[in-house]
Structures are given as structure tokens and as C-alpha cells.
Amino acid sequence: MRRAPAPAKLNLALVVGPRGANGKHELCTVYQRIDLCDRVSLEPAPRLEVHGFADDTLVGAALELLASRAGVQPRWSVRLTKRIPVAAGLGGGSSDAATALRLANETLSEPLDLSRLQGLASELGADVPFFLASGPQLGEGDGSRLTPLDLPQDYWVVVALPRGVTKESTAAVYERFDARNGADGWEARRDELLERLAEVRRPRDLAALLPSDLASSPVAERLRAVGAFRADVTGAGPAVYGLFHHRAAAEAARRELAPDGGTWVTLPAWYV
């Protein structure tokens, strides 16, 4: 039996460009893991089975794809223990898939190298390759072209999921973005984000990163009002994060928002 945590992610910034010929939008995003994790366990089995989360499609697809590329049968049993909120913009499904890929790959007599594994992961979703790389990353292209970032990790994170707010489909979010000509000025915003990233030295410098192009939330303003030095929607939402210098302030913010939905206090995470 092999076991590993599958951490959630934040988009500390998300700048979106026009839709390309391949149907995907150009992105420039900052990925950061947090220590809010699902758990994935995997062991050999007569056939592929995924337990613990009835709505899973991505883990099963990931292992079938790995088996096909490795020339083996997909004979693994996987159990998912979910803690990351589902369909919230936190990447739980992608993280589960990447973690299962890594664990299953370790069981092969000839494991795929990291480059091939990340190439396979990119076929499953734009943010899946990120969960195979350590540390914060800059995501470009459709989000799957990664460059390591040296960002501060010494702060606390509050994640808030407003009660009664459901995630729109990704397609609907991008359709609305296109309808309001959201890609106008994309190159200038991307360049500004890269310039501000280069100036980040301390946690408080993350406050200067651009807000998400895809979504906003009044919860972000509430988090700033109770002391967050940066707050924004992650991904296409609806989850919102706030960054705090001290645990006591983060815990106080969590208590303030708790009556209105799910809240978590956590930390940046470096590990794969």
C-alpha cells in the first residue's frame, strides 16, 4: 500500500488572455500549494477501482492513460479520502489525479520519468502537471507550462467557501469572460504581473499581484477588512483565500467568516 497527501492549490494571481486556435485561453498564473489535503492510497489489484469518492472521473482516467502509455493493464485499487472542497477552484480533483499518477508510476517496472509523466498529466487538465512539481510555479500557455518561482512561504492562509454559492462550469466562466472582452490589454497585464512577481521578497509583497481576471467575491473584501494583506478568488472560484502574517489573525478571520460557510486555516506547502 502506498499513501500520499494530495494538497489543494491557490492561484495567487490569474491573468487571462484570448482564446487560441486550440480553443484554450492563454494564461499567466501563480500556483501555490497549501496544506489542505486529500489523502490518496494505492495498491495493486485485479482491475482498476477508485473508492471513496463516487463522482471521480479524473483519477480513473489518469491511471488508464498511464497504463496505456506504459503498456500495462490498469490494475490498481485507489482510495480517496476527501477533505478539499469539491468544485471550489482549489484543484482537488487535479491533485488527486496527479498523486495517483505518481504513486502508480512508482509501481511500474520501468517508471516514466518526470518529463513524460508531466506530459501525460497535461492531457488530463492544465493544472494537473503543477501537482507533480515542487514549490510555487508560474503557469503559462494554458497553465501547464511551468517555471519554478522563489516566493515567500512564511504566512498563514484562510480559505473560505461561501454557503450556497456553487461553482459555474469552467466553460460558462470563460464565455462570460469573452463576452465582456476580458482579454483586452492581456499582454500589458501579463507583463505587469511578471514585473511585480520579480519584486516579491516578503509575504506582504504578494499584495501587489494583480487580482484574478476570472472572478471576484465580496468575501475577499471582508478578509481584507479583518487583516488579510492579500485576498482574492482562487481559480474560477467560488473559494476565496486571505493571506495573514500571523496565525492569531488568521484564526480570528476564520471565526468571523465561519457563520457564512466553510472556513479553513492552513499554511503554504512545498511538497509534491
Q: Which residues are tagged catalytic?
A: 9, 127
Q: Is 29 exposed, middle or buried (0-12, 13-18, 19+ CB in 10 A)?
A: buried
| Rounded Cα–Cα distance for residues 142 and 176 (Å) | 18
CB 186 within 8 A of CB 140: no
Closest CA to 94 of 158, 170, 7, 28: 7
Strand order in the sheet with 230-233: 230-233, 240-244, 156-162, 261-266
Task: State how far the Cα of 110 lies from the Cα of 258, in Å rounded to an integer.
Answer: 48
Could you give the C-alpha distances from 75 to 8, 59, 104, 123, 162, in angstroms and in order?
A: 27, 13, 9, 21, 39
